[in-house]
Each structure stands twice: as C-alpha cells, then as structure tokens.
Amino acid sequence: MVFLLTHAAAILGGVFAHAGQVPAVAAEVSKSTLDRYGRLVPEQIVREVVDHLNRTAAEAPGPNGQRLGLDQSLSLESLLLDTTCVPANIHFPVDWVLLRDATRTLIKSVIVIRRPGLRHRMGEPAVFLRQVNRLCSEMTHCRRRADGRKQRKRILRLLKKLLKTIDGHAQRHRELLAECWQETDLREGGVRQILARLDNVRQQLPAAIKQAHERIIGGRQVANVDKVLSLYESDVHVIVRGKAGAEVEFGNTLLLAEQPDGVIVDWKFVRDQAPADSKFLSESLARYGRVFGGRQPEAIVGDRGLDGAVNREHLSQANIYNAICPKSVAGLHERMQEERFVELQRRRAQTEGRIGIFKNCFLGRPCRSKGIIHRELNITWSVLAHNLWVIARLPVAVENRERRRSAA
C-alpha cells in the first residue's frame, strides 16, 4: 500500500506540475477547491496517468520485485466489457417544466440587471415567477379532471403568451446591460456571464415552446433527436435500455472494460448518440493494445449487445477467444457446453456490480459536473480513484508484508 501511494503521489505531482500549479496541502479543503484542482489538467493527461498506473501494475516482477509491491501482477488474460448510461444532472424533461426553467433564468437575470439601477419599464419581476408557477401547478393537476386534455391546451396557450412577454423584457434588459454596464459596479466577467446565460435560454426558448405545442396542442410525437431535454445541458440524449426501474434514461453512454481483478483498463464516454454496443469492441481493443504495448487479451467477455458477425470475425482473425454471449438462443445453448465459456460468463455477472460500484461510490449518481467536457474529465478522475482503490486492496508481496510488520 505504501509503495502504491508513493507511486500515485509521484504521478499526481507530475500531473499538477504539467499544469503549472501545485495545490497547497490543507487540513480541510472545500468542495469548490477540489473542483478547481480537478480541472487543472485536461482529460487526456489524466487518462495517461491511469494508463501508466495500469501498465505498472501489470508489469512482471523484476529483480527487486513488482514495482508497486504487489504479490502478483495484474492479469491481462481476459477483458470484460459492458456499457451503461451516465445520467445527466437534470430533472425529468417535462414540457411545461422546461418553460418554467426558462422563466426562472430570464427573470432572475433581469433582477440582477435591475439591481444596480439599469431598469426598463416592466412590472414587478417576482410577479412573473408567481404566475408561471401557478400555471405549471394547474397543468400538473388538470390531468385528473375529465376535461384534462382541453385544460392542458388552455393553460399552455396562457404560458406561451406569458413567455412572449417575459422574453421581450429579457431582450430589452439584455440590450440595456450590453450598452450601459460600465455605468454600474458590475465587473466585465460577470456581465459576460449574465449575457451568455440570457442568450443561451432565449435561443432555445422557441424550440422548447414549439415542442410543447406539438405534444400538448397538436398531439404529435417529437423525434428524440429533435427534443429539448435540458436548457443547460446540450449534449444529453434519450437512452432506452429497458432496465428495471430505468426504462428510459437521459444522459450519455459509457463503455467500461475491466480485467479479472476488477481494474478498469479501458473506458469511453460518448458525446453523441451512441451506436450499437457491438461497434465499441474494435476501438476498445485498439486502445487496449496501445496501452499495453500491442498486447491483446486472450479472451473477450460481454453480453448479447456485443455479439455480431463483424465482431466474431474480428476475434477469430486476432486469435482471441470469443466469450461474448450469443444473441440466438440456439447459439447460447451450444456455447453453454464449453466449460471455459461458462466460467467466463459467470465472471461477467460481477461486471454489473463493478459498474454499480463505479457509478454510486466514485462517480456519483447523478454526476454533478456540468457540461460534457467536465463530465468526461470527472469520469476519468473517477477511474483513477477507483483503480487506486482496487489495486491497493490486492495482496502485497511477502517482503512488503514483513516490512509492514516490523514498522508496526
């Protein structure tokens, strides 16, 4: 454990040195400070740190033993892959709730602009918030009524009319702030933030209103690619996986690949709409080979989503044992006669638990990071923390155990 922590400290010290900043050691560190430290380096550098740690743990023992002091090097015999969804930190995308969110952002920005004295003629801003909240509350409860559908249409029309007024006030205050901000005590950075916040919501507001109109008044479905799921997270997708308790999820797909000891050796966070799971295999093997010097696993293990004719041909040409669960029932029944296949599929059941540990204990559910870049960086930091935790729990060499006893 001491060897591992020392090695990790040296790696992390190099990471912060690469960023040109070394964090000060403090007895108590706030969450904002930790968040700032986590963003000092780009994701690619942190990924290289994880790859270096995995390579070091997988090295064969030398004359002085294993470099991390492990009793045995990490096994690279098999690679177990699975995909999951990383939910975005957003509420369920209900149409009128999106309109309420737009109102809150616009009105609160207007309040900030009016506070230092930049005012345009309008009513009390808090009144608009109360009106929108009341309409949203009516929209929620009218579904229990016999004429609920008719009432929902009526309320949405009132919402659209109110939002048109609110958008006009927001536009006039935005122009006033852009022209006269130097006459106030507001700083330039804060002004840019307010303007960006207003522009972001106002640009998406017509699409959100149209989406609500199509679904509530028109009674027509909206394609997933055209849906506005959040006003603040643009790279979020509808993911239908049919899981128990999560038929539909809103977030991004994450591929995780672990080795038999539970160390994550490959991962990919997908920004766009994810393709079929079978498309991930060849890219994962290519990244695996680059990390471990061209070495390939002896077996690939996965669920039915990874099965496909292209993957079967690829594994056959690479001379890698195919332990992916077949999609056909007849094929699965035939493969269940192979002892090695059964053993690897039984081990694959633990990969679901590994994903649960990673998401619940290291990444957080939901992931609190905002923006696709910061979420990807948070995932890579979580992989590093997870692998340090897993490797630290592996048996250490005999000489290290004796040294620990003598130190105690």
CATH of the domain at 79: 3.30.420.10
Provide the number of structural domains found in the chain: 2
Q: Is residue 186, in this structure, part of any structural domain at all?
A: yes
Which residues are CB-neighbours of 86 under 8 A, at least 6 positions away?
251, 252, 253, 254, 269, 359, 363, 367, 375, 379
Rounded to 5 degrees, φ, ψ at 322 are -90, 105
Angstrom distances, CA of residue 296 to CA of 69, 93, 320, 340: 24, 43, 8, 18
pLDDT reported for residue 101: 94
Per-residue pLDDT of 285-343, as tens digits, reads 999 999 998 889 999 999 999 999 999 999 999 999 999 999 999 999 999 999 999 99
Pair 175, 39 in one domain: no
> Residue 306: which of 351, 343, 337, 339 has the closest Cα?
351
Domain shared by 285 and 247, yes or no: yes
Residues 367 and 337 occupy one common structural domain? yes
- Residue 134 reports pLDDT greater than 90: yes
Predicted confidence band at 403 (pLDDT cuts at 50, 70, 90)?
low
Lowest mean pLDDT among 28-42, 172-186, 268-282, 299-313: 28-42
Q: Give yes or no: residues 298 and 221 share one domain.
A: no
The pLDDT score that the predictor gives to residue 1 is 40
Residues 148 and 116 in one domain: yes
361-383 tens-digit pLDDT: 999 878 888 889 999 999 999 99
Residue 37 has a pLDDT of 82
pLDDT at 8 over 70: no
Q: Is the pLDDT of residue 129 over 60?
A: yes
Same domain for 76 and 220? no
Same structural domain, 263 and 349: yes
Domain containing 180 equals: 95-226
Q: Exposure of 166 by Cβ count < 10 A (0-12 exposed, 13-18 middle, 19+ buried)?
A: buried
Can you tell me the mean pLDDT for 31-39? 81
Residue 17 has pLDDT above 80, yes or no: no
68 lies in the same domain as 131:
no
- The pLDDT tens digits of the residues spanning 232-263 come to 988 889 888 777 777 888 999 999 999 999 99
Q: What is the mean pLDDT of the chain?
A: 87
Question: Could you tell me if 303 and 348 are in contact, meaning their C-beta atoms sit under 8 angstroms apart?
Answer: yes
Task: Indicate whether 135 and 219 sit together in one domain.
Answer: yes
Tell whether 39 and 134 lie within a shared domain.
Answer: no
Residue 121 lies in a domain: yes
Where among 192, 226, 260 does a domain terminate? 226
Question: Mean of the pLDDT values across residues 18-33?
Answer: 59
Tell me whether residue 387 is in a domain.
Answer: yes
Domain termination residue (choose one: 226, 249, 268): 226
Q: Please say if the pLDDT value at position 45 is more than 80.
A: yes
Compute φ and ψ for 258, nearest 5 degrees.
-115, 160
Is 227:211 a contact under the CB 8 Å cutoff?
Answer: yes
Question: Do residues 237 and 226 touch, judged by C-beta distance below 8 A?
Answer: no
Do 144 and 219 reside in the same domain of the chain? yes
Please write the tens of the pLDDT for every residue from 56-91.
999 988 887 788 888 888 999 999 999 999 999 888
User: Which phi and psi (to 5°) does residue 212 adopt?
Assistant: -65, -40
Is a pLDDT exceeding 80 seen at residue 29? Answer: no
- pLDDT band at 2; cut points 50, 70, 90: very low
Does residue 318 sit within a domain? yes
Whether residue 102 sits in one domain with residue 27 = no
pLDDT at 280 over 50: yes
The answer to whether residue 104 is domain-embedded is: yes
* Residue 306: per-residue pLDDT: 92
Asked if residue 231 belongs to a domain, the reply is: no
Domain boundary among 195, 226, 257: 226
